[in-house]
Amino acid sequence: MEPEIIQPEVVETLAAAVPVAPAAEQPVQPQRDQRFGGQRGGRGGRGGAGGRGGQRRRPQGDRPKSEFDQRTLEIGRVSRVTKGGKRFSFRTTIVIGDGKGRVGVGMAKGKDVQQSVQKAANQARKRLITIPLINGTIPHQVEAKYSSAVVILKPARGGVKAGGPVRVVAKLAGIHALTGKLIERTNNKINIAMATVEALKKLRVKHK
């Protein structure tokens, strides 16, 4: 039995006669603001338009500046022999000062340079000393010895006439005029800096 073929005109007539049910209204979805990333906190992620939890990061320029200036005096690599072989670490010497009569020297070791610098700076803050200043210079001559370094400091009027660690310590302490001299020549910067600090500890001001 052959299938019955329906003519196209009959199909159009039947389609027009069948009533079409109205389409159900779909709820309108609120459009998300693409500029702020929708409802999930925008560019910063969840929790509002500024990052997670609605907290905004503080710009780097708003961070409080430390009252101390810091200078790295020396960075060296040291090793320790163990059963498993040599273990390397870094030793850093830091000088800090506020330029108003306070100065300190710290030395520490760490697994990397950043860790050793942070530990040395903390140690220098614990060892801060306060020295008396008169018109930007020291009140009298002093001499001190630390290990192999012997340092003599004299008051002056025009600039800091000293080199190396003596100059660094004097500048950070706020001394603008000074004459420094090494009695015994040595290349150990740590000993020279510590001898300078020991000499500054001996400064006294005579009260009238």
Task: Find the helix packing angle between 165-173 and 189-201, rounded to 10°.
Answer: 40
pLDDT at site 9: 53
The DSSP bridge pattern shows strands 85-97 and 69-82 to be antiparallel
pTM beyond 0.85, yes or no: no
| Per-residue pLDDT band at 66 (split at 50, 70, 90) | confident
Query: Which amino acid, 166?
Result: V
Confidence check: pLDDT of 2 > 70: no
pLDDT at site 44: 46
Q: Which fold has domain 69-201?
A: Double Stranded RNA Binding Domain (3.30.160)
DSSP three-state, residue 50: coil
Torsion of CA 146, 75, 72, 96, to 10 degrees: -50
Distance CA 201, CA 196 (A): 9
